[in-house]
Structure 1
Amino acid sequence: MSIKCMTQLFASCFVFLLSSVATWYNGSSMLEGPLSASLTGGLTKSSAVHHYSHIDYLLYTIKFHPQFPIMMMVSGIYLIVLLSIIGFKKRYGLISSCCLCITALLCYSSYKLSHTPTEGEHAMITSSLAAASLCLAVGLFYLLKRFYSQKEYI
């Protein structure tokens, strides 16, 4: 593995971990007010105020402070695509399939979030669709690369 790939892996892992910690920190502000906690529609249906799961923190942060979850999503997608490119090397069809699956998941998550009223979720939808279009472009690039690399052998 080259230094260029290792640097990209390290940077994307660092940004992903940093944005994850910042997301959980921003999500912990939901403990300060019961009104904001009730607005999130969290997954935890506990009677105790301080028994929220990490998913509830993430949902709260997506709704009200979406900057770090967007960074976490983009760096995670970049990490997955980079690992698929490194792992599959010259298997362009598998790289393309991985990118197209990520595109489908991002479009599905954008569809599921499309009926939400908060501006943070609208920002998440916009960034999900932008990331999906970039993944689609990368997937189509590797699909064309596979097609043209097979023509050389014929």
Structure 2
Amino acid sequence: MSYKWLFQASLAFIILLFSTGASWYEGSGILENPWEWGYSTPVTQLLNVELNHATDISQLDYFVYAAKFHPFFPVIMFISGIYLFILLGYRLLQKNHKRFSYFAFGVGTLLLFLCNIVSNSPSIGADIFFKIMLSGGIGLISVAFILYFQVFKTIWLKYVS
């Protein structure tokens, strides 16, 4: 196992854990803002729980609240999670660049789809997430095309010469 890969994965995982804890702490501010319960609790509403008390709010809604109003740590959490996911995909598919290009294209497409979901939100955090997902999706799709055609070019040159 490569030490470079292990170092990158460990660092990304530690940053993910730290930023998750910080986001969870910042998102607990929703308990003190009952006027936001109707707008920042999609997980609780999805579970059909009637919000009468602060204890009724799902812990996952803390992350939604933090992403909307305190986006620094949720953005770090998102970026480190995506980086760790791509790093694991690269490690598993490093022998086959063509499959990794498919993987990168799929992750880029997923980011563009998620970007479309948060595009209409008026909050500052959603705007930041929109920009990060848009640039990440376009970047990953570009990398996927470069890798795919680089492999295609290498294979084509072998047959031609």
Shared topology, TM-score over 0.5?
Answer: yes
Verify the 8 A CA contact 2:104 2:144 in the aligned structure 1: yes
Q: Pick the aligned partner of 1:109 from 83, 105, 114.
A: 114
Report which of the two structures shows the higher radius of gyration computed on alpha carbons. 2
Q: 1:32: how far off?
A: 1.6
Q: 1:152: how far off?
A: 4.9
SS, match of residue 100 in structure 1: helix
Which deviations, in whole Å up to 9, do the C-alpha atoms of 1:48-107 show, x marking residues without a partner? 322222321111111111111111111111111111111112211211111111111111
Alignment partners' CA distance in 1, 2:18 and 2:155: 41
Aligned to 2:148: 143
Alignment partners' CA distance in 2, 1:22 and 1:149: 46
Aligned to 2:73: 68
Is 2:18 the counterpart of 1:18?
A: yes
Deviates more, 1:142-151 or 1:60-69: 142-151
Which deviations, in whole Å up to 9, do the C-alpha atoms of 1:15-38 show, x marking residues without a partner? 111111111111111112212333
Alignment partners' CA distance in 1, 2:39 and 2:19: 23
Identity of aligned residues (%): 28
SS, match of residue 90 in structure 1: coil
Structure 2: state its 5+ residue gaps.
Answer: none
Aligned to 1:57: 62
The 4+ residue runs of structure 1 with deviation greater than 6 A are none
Cα RMSD (Å): 1.6
Structure 1: state its 5+ residue gaps.
Answer: none
SS, match of residue 95 in structure 2: coil
Q: 1:123: how far off?
A: 0.9
